[in-house]
Each structure stands twice: as C-alpha cells, then as structure tokens.
C-alpha cells in the first residue's frame, strides 16, 4: 500500500534523476524521462513524495516509475532487504521459492527477485509458469528446506497494479515484527545497480503443482461427486490447476467461461477483477443458466479466493456471502473429521456463526485479526486447525491432519464446495437448503458491509477518534451493551485500529442481538463497517420471512452507522 514516507518539498527532480541512473527498465526510464522533460511537478510529487510501504501484506501498488510505484527498482530493493533478513537466521544456500501470476511485470519481477537473492548467496527456485498463490504457499510450507517464499501478485486489484507477498518457512504470510525487520533492511539497501546479481537459480519442474494437487485432492471430505459446475478464473491463473484438481478428485469437468478462461493481465471483460464486485460474475452466472449447472464457482485472478452461487429453479441465482460459505464448509469439514482438538478460526469482522458451530460440535474456536496471516497464528498448543476463513471469500480447508495450505486457497475451497454440493444433491438438497438448516439450528446470522470512501484520509482518523472519544449509546434503536477498542488489544488480540460494538436485541418480536465492527481499510482511503444481526428461527419455521426481517435490520444498522460516522 502507499503511504507514509514523504520526501522534502522540492528535491523530487533530483530524486528522479538518481532513480533514472539506476533503473534497469527501459519502460519506466522512458516514462520518468518524459515526466521530467515536461516539467510535470505534480506527477513527480505523486511518484516521489511517498513510497510504497512494506507491511504484513508485503508490497502492493500501481505499476510505474518511482518509489511510490511497483517497478523493478522497488522489487530489487525488497528482494535485497528480504535476503539480508533471511541471512540473519539461515546460512548461504538456504532455499527460497518464488512464484508469480500473469499480471503485467510479474515474471520480470520474479526473475529480478531470483537474481538478487542468488547474488546474496541464497538459493532461489522459480516456478516456470504463472501459478496460483496457494500453489506457492503450499510449496513453502510443505518442504522443510524452503525458508521463505515470494509471490508476485496483486490478487484481485485492478490491472494497473502489482504486488509482492512474502511467506516465511511455515508457509504463512509474515506478521510483526518480521515485516518491520524486513522493511528496515530494505531501507538500508543502496543503489540497485550496485547490488551483486546472481545469474543461476533453480527452476521447478513442469510438474511443480503435483504435490499441491495431491494435498488438496486427498482431503477426503466425502465421496459424492455428481455435481455440474460453471466456473470462471476471471482472466487469472486458476483454470489449469482447478481443472486438474477436479479431474484428479473424480468430479465432472466444470464448464468454463470461454472469454475469461485464459490469463489476461488487462482483465478485458470486467471492470474490476474481484468476484465480490457487482457484475464480475455475470458471465459465469449466464453460463450456469445456459448449461443447467448445479453450482457456480469463481476464483479471483490469483485463485486464492473462491466465490460461490447457486442457480435458482425459476431462473437467476443466489450468490452466497463469504460468511455463508464459511459456515457451510466448517460443518462439512467437521462431519468428515474427528477429535476435540480440532480448531476453527475466523476473524473479528466475520460472522459469529462459526463460534456457535464450534460450540455445538464440541471443538475449539478462535478469533483473529483480519487477514490469513493472523488466522494461521490463532489458537494455542495442542490445537489442530482444520478450517479457517474470512468473510472476504477466503478459506483454508483441512482434514484430520490439519490444513495443507497455510493461506487462503480458492482451489481447495472450490473442491470442498463441490463435494458439499454433490453430497447435498445426492440427498435431494442444495446449498440453499443447507443454509436454511443452519439457520434453524443456530439462528440466522445475517451479515452485510458498509464502506465509506473519502478523498482525505484524515477524515477517517477523525471519525475513528470521534467514535473512540464518544461511542454511541444506541445504534439503530438498539442499546450498545459492550464497546471494545481493538487498538487496546481487546480479547487478547494484537492491537489494531478498529472498534467493536455489541448491541442488544431489537424491540420487534423475534429480534436477536447485533454487532458492528468498524476499521479503516489497509489499502484504500475508506472506512469498512461489518454489520451482523442474529435472529432466532425455530426448528420447523419457514426461514424466508426471517431473512426478510434480517435484511431490514441490516438496512437500519447501515443507516445508523453511516449517520454516526458523519462522513457522507
């Protein structure tokens, strides 16, 4: 993400000239030279007035010249800092796995990373072709000799972006203090044209994904296989791996959206390559209707997220939320595993349903901060993580041995969803029937989001400060029963910039409790608000009117929280 380290007023031209002198990329050199020749001070300030900050998500930003952009200089500096930090703990020759997606610049950034790591004395191994992020994460975690991994991807960001994710030897993304230590090492890197560069590194074989496929197709989550699937990789890198996984697991081959099947870094058929965005799944929903599919699945471009929809008998489809898929997959995993040491994990902004599921099944449950880097650190000694998820369509599905991928895995999740849908189909049911069954057992946990985008990031800090200083006593007519400032490390969690409000039941008959969590986005100038209402349903009740009442409750919360923020 962008931010933080401002250059002094003026000095941008001198910084740009120094950048030009070390930049190995003719494209970004030409871009920067044109800006200098045009005397475009605003463009220089935008590129050199700040820099991309290396955090727990690594780097992510727009492609282009300068320290506030993703480019070869930025990547080589990141690789040099990573190498310096790794050599504090590991001897020369330690292995690092490097993967990349099909975005603009990804392969070049991967090879630059390999050259810098090799020049520092490490032993990089590079995938020969673009791969899904979970394949890289599994490669790091599954092989004891691999001490770290790099994945060049911007996941579901727009086409103009790229990014750089770092994994440690356990196969999970880095968390503090590693991010700060790597960032400090990056700050100590000098000119990249003075870095020693290696010219030889290992290349994984063409069957590099085989071990990953063995892991995700061997989860043993049921034997049913009769289900027809319509699928899209959204112009990303998931198709070949997902089709191979479905074939190996014994599922019928999914129908694939033809004009989204091949990797294309321009994402020409979608305004935003994120299956959560309106319109992104239109083509795969149309394919499902035309082919009579039982199930709809979409991956994002690096295939670490999985979106799910169910076609409706009278036409159209119901797109499931991440929380709904998370609840269904949790019980599916628990039905096919055993032991009280099993652990379910979700984040503080995801539905409270998972805790209810864990209690009912007599297994362990933990909440984490937002992001899979935190999900994988949750729990304690003796816990066996079998399932973790976050509401933003991220799932890590395991079996009796635990989770094979210590990050979100859109392909493993797709297999598990297909197995669950096939199991339901064999019983004459659909995923929608299963959702109603969960609502009857645990109450209807309905969730929604409110996102408020602003032009001035200072407005976000002001809104958070106002709510901290004078938290509202009521929201949507409900009393605030408990208020947690997550910056104080509420519930034993690491401190984070967030606020949580637990609300009493509403005054209408059948209303249950509610919850609101508010936090600033980590990548964009906006506040994200996560809303939940819980309504009792009853054993034999029709769930539809309860869902309608829950939607009204969420609308009321959305309006009340928006008023409390005072940003629109």
What residue has token string 């699945």?
A: 297
Alpha helices in 400-529 (DSSP H): 410-426, 431-442, 457-469
**The Cα angle at residue 361 between residues 357 and 364, in degrees rounded to 5:** 80
Separation CA 422–CA 223 (nearest Å) = 9
Which residues are CB-neighbours of 127 under 8 A, at least 6 positions away? Answer: 97, 98, 99, 100, 110, 135, 136, 203, 204, 208
Q: Is 160 exposed, middle or buried (0-12, 13-18, 19+ CB in 10 A)?
A: middle
Residue 125 Cα distances to 98, 170, 192, 207, angstroms: 6, 17, 21, 14
Question: Which residue from 446, 502, 511, 437 is spatially nearest to 474, judged by alpha carbons?
Answer: 502
The residues annotated as belonging to the active site are 155
Separation CA 4–CA 487 (nearest Å) = 20
Instruction: Please confirm whether the linkage preceding 177 is cis (ω < 30° from 0).
Output: yes
Separation CA 317–CA 432 (nearest Å) = 11
Separation CA 459–CA 93 (nearest Å) = 48
Separation CA 52–CA 56 (nearest Å) = 13
List the beta strands (DSSP E) in 264-402. Answer: 295-299, 306-311, 317-319, 342-347, 364-368, 384-390, 394-397
Question: What phi and psi values does residue 335 have, to the nearest 5 degrees?
Answer: -65, -25
């Amino acid at each position: 993400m962008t931010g933080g380290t401002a250059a002094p007023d003026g000095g941008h031209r001198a910084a740009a000239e120094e950048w030009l002198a070390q930049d190995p990329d003719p494209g970004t050199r030409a871009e920067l030279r044109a800006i200098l020749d045009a005397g475009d001070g605003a463009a220089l300030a935008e590129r050199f007035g700040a820099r991309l900050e290396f955090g727990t998500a690594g780097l992510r930003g727009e492609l282009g010249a300068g320290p506030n952009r993703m480019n070869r200089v930025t990547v080589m500096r990141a690789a040099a800092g990573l190498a310096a930090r790794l050599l504090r703990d590991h001897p020369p020759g330690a292995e690092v796995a490097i993967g990349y997606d099909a975005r603009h610049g990804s392969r070049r950034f991967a090879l630059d990373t390999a050259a810098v790591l090799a020049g520092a004395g490490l032993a990089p191994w590079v995938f020969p072709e673009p791969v899904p992020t979970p394949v890289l994460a599994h490669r790091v975690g599954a092989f004891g000799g691999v001490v770290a991994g790099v994945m060049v991807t911007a996941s579901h960001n727009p086409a103009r972006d790229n990014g750089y994710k770092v994994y440690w030897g356990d196969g999970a993304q880095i968390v503090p203090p590693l991010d700060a230590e790597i960032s400090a090492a990056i700050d100590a890197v000098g000119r990249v044209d003075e870095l020693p560069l290696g010219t030889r590194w290992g290349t994984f074989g063409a069957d590099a994904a085989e071990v990953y496929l063995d892991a995700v197709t061997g989860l043993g989550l049921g034997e049913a296989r009769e289900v027809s699937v319509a699928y899209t990789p959204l112009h990303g890198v998931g198709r070949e791996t997902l089709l191979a996984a479905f074939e190996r697991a014994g599922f019928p081959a999914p129908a694939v959206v033809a004009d989204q099947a091949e990797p294309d870094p321009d994402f020409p058929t979608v305004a935003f390559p994120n299956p959560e965005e309106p319109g992104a799944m239109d083509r795969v929903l149309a394919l499902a209707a035309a082919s009579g599919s039982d199930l709809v699945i979409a991956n994002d471009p690096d295939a670490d997220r999985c979106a799910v929809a169910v076609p409706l008998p009278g036409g159209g489809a119901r797109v499931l939320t991440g929380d709904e898929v998370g609840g269904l997959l949790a019980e599916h995993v628990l039905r096919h595993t055993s032991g009280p040491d099993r652990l379910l994990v979700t984040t503080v902004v995801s539905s409270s349903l998972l805790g209810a599921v864990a209690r009912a099944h007599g297994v362990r449950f933990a909440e984490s901060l937002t992001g899979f880097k935190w999900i994988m650190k949750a729990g304690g000694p003796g816990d066996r993580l079998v399932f973790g998820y976050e509401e933003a369509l991220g799932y890590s599905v395991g079996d009796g041995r635990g989770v094979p991928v210590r990050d979100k895995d859109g392909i493993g999740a797709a297999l598990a969803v297909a197995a669950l849908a096939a199991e339901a189909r064999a019983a004459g049911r659909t995923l929608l029937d299963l959702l109603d069954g969960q609502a009857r057992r645990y109450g209807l946990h309905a969730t929604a989001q409110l996102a408020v985008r602003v032009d001035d990031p200072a407005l976000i800090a002001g809104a958070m400060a106002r709510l901290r200083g004078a938290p509202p006593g009521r929201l949507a007519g409900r009393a605030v029963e408990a208020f947690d400032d997550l910056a104080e490390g509420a519930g034993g969690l690491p401190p984070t910039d967030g606020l949580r409000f637990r609300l009493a039941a509403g005054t209408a008959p059948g209303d249950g409790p509610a919850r609101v969590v508010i936090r600033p986005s980590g990548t964009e100038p906006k506040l994200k608000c996560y809303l939940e209402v819980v309504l009792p349903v009853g054993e034999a009740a029709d769930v539809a009117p309860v869902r309608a009442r829950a939607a009204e409750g969420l609308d009321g919360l959305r309006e009340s929280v928006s008023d409390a923020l005072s940003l629109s």
